[in-house]
Amino acid sequence: MIKKIIVLLMVFVSAPLLVAGEAEPVAKDPVLEAKVMSISDELRCLVCQNQTIADSDAPLAVDLRREVRDMVKQGMDKEQVVSFMEERYGDFVRYRPAFKASTILLWIGPLLLFVMALGVLYFNLLRKRKSVDETTPLSDEDKVRISALLKKENAGEDKA
């Protein structure tokens, strides 16, 4: 019981000290930091793969942001930084791949799949419509059998 009270007192005493402050930007220059974050939004985190290096807290993403910051400080523009990263890590490092021959399937593929799905839907509906239109009329023999079954069923309902 006394241990619990001591732990609770320690939590209540230390809680105000644990309040986090606002994170300061790494660069003192807000214009430089805005450029770095703009470029970082174009580059994929190679660890997370579904985040940009601006969004990721992975150690590699932090290193890549630092590298981008250094390149921007050296005077490189966005295209130069992105092309450097592409040369070093390949096309995969771009969060939004460039439109070129090797990535054309990424850009056109969803449209092709959509058009193919519409085509399959159209032909299935067309085939179903034809099968409904092509129903053969009942023969006289079938009509007689159906009327006999209906009479038999109606006779069963009268008894109930």
Averages of pLDDT over each 10 residues, the chain, 160 residues: 80 68 61 89 86 88 91 91 90 83 86 96 88 71 90 71
Apex CA 39: angle with CA 34 and CA 42, to 5°? 135
Contacts of 68 (CB under 8 A, 6+ apart): 36, 39, 40, 43, 53, 81, 85
Q: What are the domain boundaries of the chain?
A: 23-98, 102-159
Superfamily covering domain 23-98 = Cytochrome C biogenesis protein (1.10.8.640)
CA of residue 101 relative to chain centroid, distance = 23
- Which tokens belong to 110? 């969803």
Which pLDDT does position 153 carry in this prediction?
A: 80
Dihedral-angle region of residue 30 (phi above 0 means left; psi in -120 to 50 means alpha; beta otherwise): alpha
In contact, 12 and 26? CB cutoff 8 Å: no
Which pLDDT does position 74 carry in this prediction?
A: 92
Which pLDDT does position 5 carry in this prediction?
A: 85
CB-neighbour burial class of residue 87 (10 A; exposed 0-12, middle 13-18, buried 19+): exposed
Which pLDDT does position 155 carry in this prediction?
A: 75
Determine if the pTM surpasses 0.95. Answer: no
Which pLDDT does position 113 carry in this prediction?
A: 96
